Amino acid sequence: MGVGYRLQRSAGRTSLSSYRFCVRARDKLFSLLVSGAFADFGRRSVLQLPIRLSGEGRIAVGSNVFVGAGSWLQVLDDPVEDVALTIGDGTSIAGNCVLSARQSVRLGKKVLLARNVYIADHMHAFDDRARAVLEQGITRAGPVEIRDGAWLGQNVVVGPGVRIGLGAVIGANSVVLADVPDHEVAVGAPARVLGRAGEAVRVAP
């Protein structure tokens, strides 16, 4: 291969390395600067820009947490000042995820969220046909817990009052409206348990 090609390859690698370093440095600096606004913010945790934050004074972030770009961490307005959204140590949130809490959303340690996961402990009210849904407030609030080591696939939705157990696996595009036991695999809309993680799982046609 010619000298021009080798120079182009070298310049490309150097440019990408510089870009990645700058992005990491930017996100780490941002995380350090805003950490004091949170109820708790552990060491070596990173919020990747751009990110949307609401009610950060009631959000507790553990150590070694990663929250990917495009995510929204939200606590709704409430006179109570207790922590409403907790993200445990070592949890990784891939990006474009929404975690929205009114009462309590708790992610345990080393939870893995793929992209576009939506978790909320409340739903929009929609009973009044004479009013727009956005004017009706929220309803059916109930605490949500995602326990240690669970994995939620891409586009998963978790509704209010749900508990997802230790090491449970939720398949992509699933809508979880009921509890999932420890180490079980659940898929579908609404999600249903198919078997235990680590075992062969058969999906009905």
Domain ranges of the chain: 3-196
| CA dihedral over 191, 195, 197, 199, signed as positive or negative | negative
**Distance between CA atoms of 177 and 156, rounded to whole angstroms?**
11
Is the separation of the CB atoms in 97 and 112 below 8 Å?
A: no
Tokens for 147, please give them.
């326990």
Global pTM value: 0.89
The answer to whether 124 is a known catalytic residue is: yes
Q: What CATH architecture does domain 3-196 belong to?
A: 3 Solenoid (2.160)
Is the separation of the CB atoms in 197 and 185 below 8 Å?
A: yes
Per annotation, catalytic residue among 124, 131, 140, 192:
124
**Distance between CA atoms of 205 and 201, rounded to whole angstroms?**
13
131-188: per-residue pLDDT in tens? 998 888 888 889 999 999 999 999 999 999 999 999 999 999 999 999 999 999 999 9
